[in-house]
Each structure stands twice: as C-alpha cells, then as structure tokens.
Amino acid sequence: MLQQIVFFLVSLAALGFAGWQFSKIRRNVLLGQPETISGNSGQRWRNVLLVAFGQSRMFKRWIPALFHFFIYAAFLLTQVELIEIFIDGLTGAHRFFYPRLGGFYVFVISFIEVLSLLALIATVIFLIRRNVLKLPRFTKPEMKGWPFRDANIILYLEIALIACIFTMNGTDEVLFNRGQSHAEGVEGLEGSFNFAVSSWLGPMLFGGIESESLLHTLERTGWWGHILVVFAFLNYLPISKHLHIILAFPNTYFARLKPRGEMKNMPEIMNEVKSMMGLGDGNGEGDMAAMEEELPEFGTKDVFGLSWKNILDAYSCTECGRCTAVCPANITGKKLSPRKILMDIRDRATEVGQKLESKDPQYAADPDKPLSKDNFDDGKSLFDYITPEELHACTTCNACVEACPVLIDPLDPILQMRRYEILTLSQGPGDWMPLFNSIENQGSAWAMSVDRDAWTKELTNE
Amino acid sequence: MSKIPTMAELAAEGKSPDILFWVGCAGSYDSRAQKVTIAFTKILNEVGINYAILGNEESCTGDPARRAGNEFLFQMSALQNIEVLNGYGIKKIVTTCPHCFNTLKNDYPALGGAYDVIHHTQLLQQLIDEGRIKMKEGGAFEGKRITYHDSCYMGRVNGVYEAPRKVLEALDNELVEMKRCKSNGLCCGAGGAQMWKEDEPGDKRINIERAEEALETGAEIIAANCPFCLTMMGDGMKAKDKQDEVMVYDLAELIVNNNGL
C-alpha cells in the first residue's frame, strides 16, 4: 500500500511538472505571429504517417536511419510495458496484461526485449559516432558545449532505461527458477514467462547471486528505476533537443504544402506598390497614409515577427545536422549553418519566454504598462544571435529543406530576416546595390546600354 | 535566320502565339546565356512553334530582388510584368531560366498572374517524345561522357529531374552522374542573388567545389539547364584550367550542335 501511495505521488509530481514545462514551450511557440495553417488534411495526415511515424525521410541515409529506427521502435513499443508499470504501480496488479493476453503477451514483451537489445546496440554506436569518431556534422561550432552534452545525456538516459528493464525482467527470471518470482501467482502462468532476451540474459548476469533478498531488491530497483528515468526523461524533454520525439508529429502535420518555390507574399507591400503604380483598387491611398503614420517594420527582426510555425520548427529540431551537411555555403567553409539558425531561434524564444516569466519591468517597452509579448524590449533581437554574414551566404538552394527528416523549413526565417535587413534597416551586401539599381531603373538585373532585344537584331543580321 | 516575332508585332496583326518565350535578363544580355537563347529559338523555328517574345516590354521577373529581401523592388517588377502579360492575355510561357520559371510559376499567382509555365528542357523533352525533334545519328556527342548538373530551381525546388535526362538520353551519349545529383545535387553557388555578389568568407567558392565534383566524373561535357549554372560551371572550369578540355553546355545547345541547326 505504501508503495502505491508513493508511486501515485511521484507520478502526480512528475506529470504535473512536465505539463507546466510543456505549457511554457507552447507559450514560446505562440510568441510568433498567428498564421492559419489548415486545409488538405489528407496530405497532412499522410505526412504525419509517412514522415514522422514511418520515418521515411530518415532513410535517405540508411545506416543511421536503421539504428535510429531500433531506438524509435523500442521507445514506441515500450509504452505497452510502461502502461503496465503504471497499472502495477497504482493497483499492485503485477503483469496485469498477462492473464488477458496470454501467449500474445509473452510475444509482445519478447519483441520489446529484442528491440531494446537492438536499441542498446544502436545507442552505443551513436555514442561512438559522437565521442570517438566525431562525425563532422556533430562537431560543428554550434555543437560545442550544451548541445554536445545534451546529446550524450539523452543516450545515457536511454542506456539507463534499457538497463532497468533487463534488470527487472532478468532478476525475475532468476527468481522464477527459485520459486520466488514477483509474477508468482499471476493467473494462468506456469513456470517463467520465458521472454526472448531476459530468459538467457537474466541467469547469465544475475544467476550467480546467492542472496534472494538482493535479487528482490534488484528487481524492484529495475522497476522503480525504469519509471523514474521515464519521468526524468519526460521532464528533461522541454530543455532538450530530444523534444523532437513529441514535436515531430505536429511539425509534420503543419508542414508547408505550398510549392517550395513560392516565397510568402507581403500583401501590405503589394498594395502599396499597386497604389503607387495606379493599379490599386481605390484603397491604396488610405493604406499609404496608415503606413506612414505607423512607420512599419518589414521583415523579421525577432521571434515576434516569425510565424508560430517557424518557432515550432525550431523546437522540433533535434540538431541532427543533415541540413548543415548539405548546405553549399557550410560545405565551403562559410559561417552559415541552417541548424544553427534553428537553434538560435529556439534559444531566443526561450530567452524571451524566461524574461516574460520574470515579470521584470526592465524588459517592458513601455514601463507604465505590464510586461507582455506586445510590450517587450530587452534591447536584443534575433540579430544578436544570427549575423548578417550568415544570412548573406544562403543561395536559397533548398538543400536544407530537402534534407530535414521532420519537414523543418530553415530557409524561410533566413529570407524573412533578409527582408528586415534590406527593407527596414536599408542595409545588406554592397554588391547588391548595383543589382537593385539596374532592376529599378532599367528593368534588368544587369545595367546595359543596349535594348533588351538587341540579340534578335544580331541574329537576323547573320 | 528568320526574325524573332514580338508580342507587339503579332498583336498589331491581330494574331496571338501559342506560347510566349520568356527570355530573361541573362538570356537577353549575358553573352554566354545569349547563345542558349539563340540555340533555343533555332529549335523553335526548326520545329515550327508559333511563339513570340516580349522584346523590350519584358523586364526582370524580380527573382534576385525578392530572394535578396527587397520585396518592394520585386513587387514593382512583378506587377509591371503581370500588367504586360495579362494585357496580352498570355496563357502559356516557356523560359530557358529556372529562376524566371520559378518566379513566374510560383511567385506570380499571389500577385494576380497565373500562367502555365514550362521550362525549355520540358518543352524539348515533349518535342522529342512527339517526334518533332529528331536527333541526327552519329552526332557530335554520340558515346561521349556527359555529366548533368541539376539546377536547384528546376530540381529540388520544382521537382524536375527526369526531363533534362531524357533529352540527354536522346542524344545517345553516356550519362555519368556526379556523386551529389538529383535531389541531393549541389548548388552552383549563384542562387538567392549570390550571382551578383562575392561569396561570403570561407574556405572555397561553391562553384569550385561543384566544378571539382564534375571533373571527378571524367566527363568531357557538363550539361546544365540554367544561365547562372552555365556561368558558374564555366568559371569553375577556367579556375581549374580545364576550359579547353571540358565544355559546359545547355541542353538546347547540345541539340543544335548535334543536328547542325
């Protein structure tokens, strides 16, 4: 009974704290501009099923995809065991599903055990890739410090989870052989469960332990350890790149379905230009007056100017670096790294969220009004994270967009920030001035002293 | 060679073409891209396509301005072009520039300009499939090693990978793919208005990286479908001192050379 009360209180605390942390992520995502993303739900669900659930885009690099799949599949299926641990924890009904499922139960748990073993192998390989082989995409400048530690912590936690499961099932197997199993007396059970891995791994690891009380303690440690690591993991997600295990699903659902080549239109500028050119629908002058009054900012300076979807993208990023590995600018040694752009957006959103939470009036744009996302100025912006040099290096080649396994669009925020630089700051690469001048004055990307159709005359003179 | 008809001339005669050939700034002014423009008009004339150009009524689509971040300038260029295109009641457009192609096809609809836009490599493939372009056998490129450089704006951005390869297949040469090709193709370095600026500081220029990769295939010819790619790959060959051994051609030029047009 005591165990059940403790379990209930621990679960409540862990789930409550996690819910509170996730609500902060939601708040940070909603710092962005509202954007209605709807329609074509068939295609959207297809993306969720194929890309998030089915991992289809991972398999462009099939070796890491396969190992990742082991961990992913083990994670998904372990939820069955987790539900059982919950029922056990709350009611004391050990191996709750066995009397209901019988042989199928043994198959499911055996399957989980095999996947867990594969996941363990994959986790060790992933640790080697990061710490020994030091793969280039894991050692870029933006991966120094916390991102590097974060990745290792996740892998260690996964090893802990798997170790706990095998300790629990393995010691119980040994106890079975001594007629002392925790599952003794479970309806319909004759002999041990004979799970695929723990039936041989258990005796191998724990068979030599004489003391049955130690075995019982180890079994309970495995049980409690597993659920406690699960709770720890859940509460670790909101501050970790590992959040992708949840956000990959909404992020693929809300992924853009419009043609890749279409840049978001800016109707406010379109209408202004139309009225300048006398093409307006009569409302043009009013628009212009309104624009002059407000001195509007165009493009994106900070997370407030991004769409909420850009921020969701940033929180969905697991820093795998496939985007950066295919970026032509990054490949040739430029500062631009699409992954860093996303990490910067996420870190800035988190910083703004924390400052809003502090309710410190020094961050209010108007100190007489309460601090809010509409009344916020900490003297910083995304440009304190992302330099113009990075923005200027992009060729808009869409390789990063193509590479992302969870349909993140790293290109869109780059282009939005370029707009801010050019339209609001009137800055940008000096080389672009002649380009802009000749487009404006001559309708051509190059300043030429001859007619546009001069080539036809040469041709007919041939 | 016969005169290239303009929309204004046709309109004055009360005629309208089946398709507008959008030449683009590079196709009009850049000496390398002009050769592609001319090669493509030779094919159009040979096949007997009823086409026209806008001539001096055409202006920059605004693509480099938009992707540089200069939305005002883009809107000015685009709205002016849409006025002209809609004024002539244009329905179908072909262009030799993937950047013009993408802007006309994907950016203009939101501004009130909706057209059926195809790239010249798609039209060439259609004409070959329909038997309207017949490749001469034993042409200059038969059996030659060719590699094909995907432009980003036809490839990844618009998903056109096969049409240009089918054109090459019809030329009966040996296509060798680069290590990074199709959806994984490496940019030449010119997109997003990079054509008009120096590379940002780094270890090497993007076009050199791509040129080296193309040279690794041992191809004698690099085929491309974009005026900017032609310039970047051509410059890459010069930087590697290979400009006399490895030729960089647009697909239209390959057909013209093969058939002696």
DSSP string, A357-388: HHT-GGG-SSTTS--BTTB---S--GGGTS-H
- Quick check: B72 pLDDT over 90? yes
| Tokens found for residue A90 | 């709350």
Looking at 1.10.287.130, 1.10.1060.10, 3.30.70.2190, 3.30.70.20, the CATH number of the domain A297-428 comes to 1.10.1060.10
A388 chain-B contacts, CB cut-off 8 A: none
Give the nearest partner residue to A422 out of B26, B68, B183, using CB atoms. B68
Kindly report the nearest CA distance between residue A279 and chain B, in angstroms.
9
Q: What is the dihedral of CA B253, B256, B259, B261, to 10 degrees?
A: -160
Q: What is the mean pLDDT of residues A378-394?
A: 98
Is A265 within 8 Å of B2 when comparing Cβ atoms? no
- Quick check: A302 pLDDT over 80? yes
At residue A284, the pLDDT reads 47
Give the nearest partner residue to B206 out of A326, A332, A402, using CB atoms. A332
- The answer to whether the B7-124 and B135-259 domains have the same CATH topology is yes
Cβ–Cβ pairs < 8 A, chains A and B: 223
Kindly report the nearest CA distance between residue B141 and chain A, in angstroms.
25
Is B199 within 8 Å of A332 when comparing Cβ atoms? yes
Round to whole Å and give the CA distance between A462 and B74.
36
Is A432 within 8 Å of B53 when comparing Cβ atoms? no
DSSP code for A219: H
What residues form DSSP beta bridges with B51?
A: B19
| Ranges assigned E (strand) in A286-381 | none
A434 chain-B contacts, CB cut-off 8 A: 196
Is B67 within 8 Å of A445 when comparing Cβ atoms? no
A272 chain-B contacts, CB cut-off 8 A: 72
Question: Is-contact A227 A85, C-beta < 8 A?
Answer: yes
Phi then psi for residue B174, to 5 deg, are: -95, 105
Give the nearest partner residue to B1 out of A393, A435, A460, using CB atoms. A460
| Tokens found for residue A92 | 């004391």
At residue A182, the pLDDT reads 80
Give the model confidence (pLDDT) of A335-358 as tens digits.
999 999 999 999 999 999 999 999
A454 chain-B contacts, CB cut-off 8 A: 28
Architecture of domain B135-259: 3-Layer(aba) Sandwich (3.40)
Instruction: Report the mean per-residue pLDDT for chain B.
Output: 96
Q: What is the mean pLDDT of residues A147-163?
A: 96
Q: What is the mean pLDDT of residues A300-325?
A: 97
Q: Which of A332, A391, A424, A460 to mutate to probe the B interface, most B CBs <10 Å?
A: A332
Give the model confidence (pLDDT) of A33-60 as tens digits.
999 999 999 999 999 999 999 999 999 8
Helix/strand/coil percent split, chain B, to 5: 50, 10, 40
Question: Is-contact B248 B234, C-beta < 8 A?
Answer: yes
At residue A112, the pLDDT reads 94
Is B58 within 8 Å of A399 when comparing Cβ atoms? no
Give the model confidence (pLDDT) of B73-96 as tens digits.
999 999 999 999 999 999 999 999
Is A328 within 8 Å of B68 when comparing Cβ atoms? no
Give the model confidence (pLDDT) of A208-244 as tens digits.
999 999 999 999 999 999 999 999 999 999 999 999 9
Kindly report the nearest CA distance between residue B130 and chain A, in angstroms.
28
- Search chain B and give the residue with CA nearest A334: B202
- Search chain B and give the residue with CA nearest A448: B29
A457 chain-B contacts, CB cut-off 8 A: none
Is B186 within 8 Å of A328 when comparing Cβ atoms? yes
* pLDDT above 90 as % of chain A: 82
Is B72 within 8 Å of A462 when comparing Cβ atoms? no
Using pLDDT thresholds of 50, 70 and 90, give the confidence band for residue A124.
very high
Is A273 within 8 Å of B30 when comparing Cβ atoms? no
Give the nearest partner residue to A446 out of B25, B202, B208, using CB atoms. B25
Is B62 within 8 Å of A439 when comparing Cβ atoms? yes
Give the model confidence (pLDDT) of B178-199 as tens digits.
999 999 999 999 999 999 999 9
Is B29 within 8 Å of A423 when comparing Cβ atoms? no
Q: Which residues contact residue B222 at a Cβ distance below 8 angstroms, ignoring those fewer than 6 apart?
A: B146, B147, B148, B149, B214, B233, B237, B246, B247, B248, B249
* pLDDT above 70 as % of chain B: 99
A404 chain-B contacts, CB cut-off 8 A: none
Give the nearest partner residue to B204 out of A273, A333, A395, using CB atoms. A333
Domain-wise residue ranges, chain A: 2-30+61-253, 259-291, 297-428, 430-462
Q: What is the mean pLDDT of residues A144-167?
A: 96
Q: Which of A398, A423, A457 to mutate to probe the B interface, most B CBs <10 Å?
A: A398
At residue A202, the pLDDT reads 94
- B7-124 domain in CATH 3.40.50.1860? yes
Prediction ipTM score: 0.96
Helix/strand/coil percent split, chain A, to 5: 65, 0, 30
Domain-wise residue ranges, chain B: 7-124, 135-259
Round to whole Å and give the CA distance between B250 and B230.
7
- Search chain B and give the residue with CA nearest A412: B67
Question: Is-contact A364 A376, C-beta < 8 A?
Answer: yes
Q: What is the mean pLDDT of residues A448-459?
A: 87
Give the nearest partner residue to A279 out of B60, B79, B187, using CB atoms. B79
At residue A294, the pLDDT reads 61
Distance separating the N- and C-terminal Cα atoms of chain A: 100
Q: What is the mean pLDDT of residues B148-174?
A: 95
Is A459 within 8 Å of B197 when comparing Cβ atoms? no
Round to whole Å and give the CA distance between B253 and B261.
10
* One-letter-per-residue 3-state SS of A141-175: HHHCCHHHHHHHHHHHHHHHHHHHHHHHHHHHHHH
Question: Is-contact A343 A324, C-beta < 8 A?
Answer: no
Give the model confidence (pLDDT) of A131-150 as tens digits.
999 999 999 999 999 999 99
Is B79 within 8 Å of A399 when comparing Cβ atoms? no
Beta strand B174-175 pairing with B116-119 = unpaired
Is B196 within 8 Å of A443 when comparing Cβ atoms? no
Round to whole Å and give the CA distance between A289 and B144.
64
Q: What is the mean pLDDT of residues A186-199?
A: 85
Q: Which residues contact residue A416 at a Cβ distance below 8 angstroms, ignoring those fewer than 6 apart?
A: A264, A299, A300, A305, A306, A310
Round to whole Å and give the CA distance between B194 and B172.
35
